[in-house]
Every structure is written in structure tokens, then in C-alpha cells.
Amino acid sequence: MSFESDTAIIVDCLSQFYKHSNSGNGRCIEQHPMQKLIDELELSKLVAEGGLSGDKLKHFLENYLSGITKIYHPGNVAHQQAVPHYMSALAGLIDNFVSSDGSTYEIGPASVSVEYFLINWLIGKVGWVPAPVPPEEQTDNHHAGGVLLQGGSLSNLTAIIAARTHIAPDVWQHGSPGDLVILAPKHTHYSIARAAGIIGIGHQSVRSLEVDNQGLIIVDRLPEVISEVKSQGKRILAVVANAANTAAGLFDPLQEIGLFCQEHDLWFHIDGAHGGPALLTQKYKHLTKGFNLASSITINMHKLMRVSSTCSALLMRDARTLDQAFVQQASYLFFDKEQPGYDFLHRTIECTKPVLGLKFFMVLAALGESGISDYIERLFDLTMEIYNYLESLPDFECPLEPQSNILCFLIHGVPEGQLLLREELLNRGMFYISTASINDVRYLRLTISNPETNLGHIKELVNELREIRDTGLSRK
């Protein structure tokens, strides 16, 4: 049993897994019943025996990998999940080996420094004032700030918590006031409604903003909503807009909403969990116009930036709003100390925080800024190409023109419904797609993340869907 020899076994298995998945030969999804998997993986036996190493390790890992949906398969076009660059995996290895900490400088000076650097790098892209690097004198000059968190849901929750402390500074002593309302379009990610539940104002405090036929916020209707809320004696906790929305991947008119919020002194949260990285491109940067007007922004790295799950950035235009978000104190950690670095501890729900910056940094440093930009531009371009192709077919239809790497569509002539068609497609296993409901119609949905996926694969998908429609479903 040795680290070196077991690592060599793992690298070999992963390399086979990658090559086989990426070739597109074989299935990309296969779901067996859970008890069967637990038995096949021999979990009880391995726990009882111990000694997971060498051939035993190889056997286990091969079984394990065969039970994983193949992210590197070009037919995997389902979810908003990055197809990771291998540097992300290597960062994970380093990070899990040294088991540093992402929040406390004493424990992980280099880890915290990388995260601090990345937050400032993102802040620079948004166009805000970067935070001074400690221990430089903290000045009274207004600057931005942020933190890396485990996923967009946690970033959104933290943003809502900060907005709440901002509007109700005594909330940590007295609890949530009952007059707070969040305004968000209907298709907003469920994590916003969940955040409302968590902070104790309830789902019903999330009011749907009126949207156009593309599902995007109608800015002209905002004044009416604001006066309605005010006339009911309520206060607006935050206005939430999407960059982009989860179902269709479309961007709200951020600039206009941002100006409106500025004028009315409202907290403006941009949920850029999916599309935020468009900021890093030349060609699609225009979609993120208005980011600089936000109070807070969520951007995920594990969707469009080739970083493995999970890594999300929460950025705030005024760092003080994040610094004050949580006021509760733990005396053994929070005490004034002279130190050469920085603690993220007061900005997070977590105490021990995984190091999320290393994988983000190593992918970025491997591809370079232009490499990331090229990758994102190619995905968005290809999605538009797929849209044009599907629209040219007599029996396919897309409800909306795409703006990012998400595309909804349906195939005609399926009275059984698109969901049953998808189920049969997944049973066959060569393609993995998702679904979304838009204006109460159920669509099939593609998210293009794999650098190897091309129009040829989508043409095969079309053939397979037609075959299932024409033969597979009717025989059932």
C-alpha cells in the first residue's frame, strides 16, 4: 500500500475512463437500481475487510466509474455542469492532500491568498474597485469584496442574508422583520425562494416580476410594482435578475434594471451563476452590461469555466455589506489579531471552508484568460448553430433564440409527450438531455459544455429522437 503506486492505478483508471467516455463509443448514461449498485460495488465487504489498495482498489474504481454518468461523453448535453479541465482534478488532489483551509489565514496562507487574488481579479472584470491587499492600511475608500462558496445556491443565500442585514441592521438580535419582499422573475432559480424560506420571510415574500414572452423582466413595469409594494406597507429586500435564467439561458436587461435600482436605492442582486463568465469574453460581454450596477453578484465556475463541482463566487460592490452580513461571533476565532493576511471567516456560513480557489486558479492559469474566453465563445456560437439547424427542420421547434449555451426545443408528433420521449432516450443511453417548462409547455433542453460536442453529434441526436418517435414509443 503506497501513495505513489495507488495514485498511479487511479490515474490509469481515470485516463481509460476519459478516453472511453470522450470517444462517444458506449453509453453516456445508465442507471441501475441502487441496491444493485451497492451490492456490485461490494461496499459492505470492503468496509469489513479494509485494505483498499492495489488490485482491490483498481477493481473497486473500475466498478465505481462504470456507475457514473459520463461527463466527458459528447452525447452528455443535459445539465449546466462544467466538463472539467484536468487541472481542476489535479488541484483537487493537491488540495485534499494538504487539507488546507479557505477561510483562516493562519491555517492556509497560500490558499487564502489565491482566493483573495481571484476575487479581486473578478472584481476587476466587473469594473469595481478591488480590495487592498492586507496588511495594507484599510482605508475608508469604498471598495468591493467577495468570497468563494460552494455553489450558486449558497452564494445567493449569502447575498440575501447580506441584503437583509443591510435593510434591517438589528436582525441578528431581533429576527427577521415581517415586512420584507424579494422581487424576482418567475423563472428565477429555486435557491432564491429557498433563501427566503431560510431567512424566515417565507416563499410568499418572493413576488414575481412581470416578464415578456421571452421570460425576461419588463423594466417599464417596475415602478408600478414598487408603488404597490409600498402601498402595502412592505419594504423591498432585493430585486433579483438573472444572467442567465436557468430554463432558457437568457439574460435579463441588467443595465436598465440596475439604473432603476440605483435611482430607487434598492438592493440589486444579479444571479449570474450560469452566465456570469460571459463577462470574460469579448464577443458576449455585452450580455453582462450592468454588472457594475449590482449590489451583489453570483458567478459559478463549475458551469462555464471548466472547473469541477463546486466553485462559486459571491461579489459585492461595497465590501462592507458582506463584512456586516453575519454579526454573530465565535470568540476563539474572531478576535483582533495582528496578522499578515486576511480571514474570510466572517463572510461565510461555514466555519471550516474548503479551498475552492486552487482549482479555479489552476484551470485559469492552464487555459489563460484568452483560452477561457475562446471556450465560452465557441459554446455560445455552437448553440446558435444548433438553433439554426433545428429551426430548419420541419418537425423540430425552438421556443426561444438562445443567448448562451442552453437551448430548449421540441419534436413534433409525440402525443405521448416530450418527457416520455426523453425517458426512452435515456434508457438507450447514448444521449443525455434535460427538460424545462417555458410558458407552461414542456420542452427538451440542451446545455452544451463539452469542447468535443459538435453539430454532428446533434444530428445523431435528432435521428435518434425521430427513430424513438416513429418506432420506439408506439411499440410500448
Ligand X SMILES: *Cc1c(COP(=O)(O)O)cnc(C)c1O
Residues that bind ligand X (CB under 6 A): 80, 151-153, 156, 189, 191, 242, 246, 271, 273-274, 300, 310, 312
Please report where in the chains the cell 463541482 appears, as a residue: 309
CA angle 58, 56, 61 (to 5 degrees): 35
Nearer to ligand X, 164 or 189 (CB): 189
- Residue 223 Cβ, how far from ligand X at the closest point, in Å? 25
- Residue 153 Cβ, how far from ligand X at the closest point, in Å? 3
Nearer to ligand X, 130 or 277 (CB): 277
Nearer to ligand X, 246 or 308 (CB): 246
- Residue 110 Cβ, how far from ligand X at the closest point, in Å? 25
- Residue 313 Cβ, how far from ligand X at the closest point, in Å? 11
Question: Which grid cell sits at 417?
Answer: 409527450
If we measure between CA atoms, which residue out of 32, 22, 132 comes closest to residue 72? 22
Rounded Cα gap, residues 87 and 92, in angstroms: 9
- Residue 165 Cβ, how far from ligand X at the closest point, in Å? 21
Rounded Cα gap, residues 221 and 409, in angstroms: 29
Nearer to ligand X, 242 or 403 (CB): 242
Nearer to ligand X, 158 or 453 (CB): 158
Nearer to ligand X, 17 or 380 (CB): 380
User: How far is the CA of 419 from the CAs of 28, 409, 413, 415, 424, in angstroms?
Assistant: 19, 12, 13, 11, 9
- Residue 250 Cβ, how far from ligand X at the closest point, in Å? 11
- Residue 305 Cβ, how far from ligand X at the closest point, in Å? 12
- Residue 132 Cβ, how far from ligand X at the closest point, in Å? 29
- Residue 34 Cβ, how far from ligand X at the closest point, in Å? 23
Nearer to ligand X, 307 or 461 (CB): 307
- Residue 193 Cβ, how far from ligand X at the closest point, in Å? 11
Nearest residue to ligand X, using CB? 152
- Residue 310 Cβ, how far from ligand X at the closest point, in Å? 6
Nearer to ligand X, 252 or 343 (CB): 252
Rounded Cα gap, residues 118 and 356, in angstroms: 10
Nearer to ligand X, 281 or 300 (CB): 300
Nearer to ligand X, 131 or 240 (CB): 240
Rounded Cα gap, residues 326 and 192, in angstroms: 18
92 beta partners: none
- Residue 150 Cβ, how far from ligand X at the closest point, in Å? 8
User: Is the CB of residue 433 less than 8 Å from the CB of residue 451?
Assistant: no
Nearer to ligand X, 130 or 185 (CB): 185
Question: Which grid cell sits at 42?
Answer: 461490494
Nearer to ligand X, 300 or 348 (CB): 300
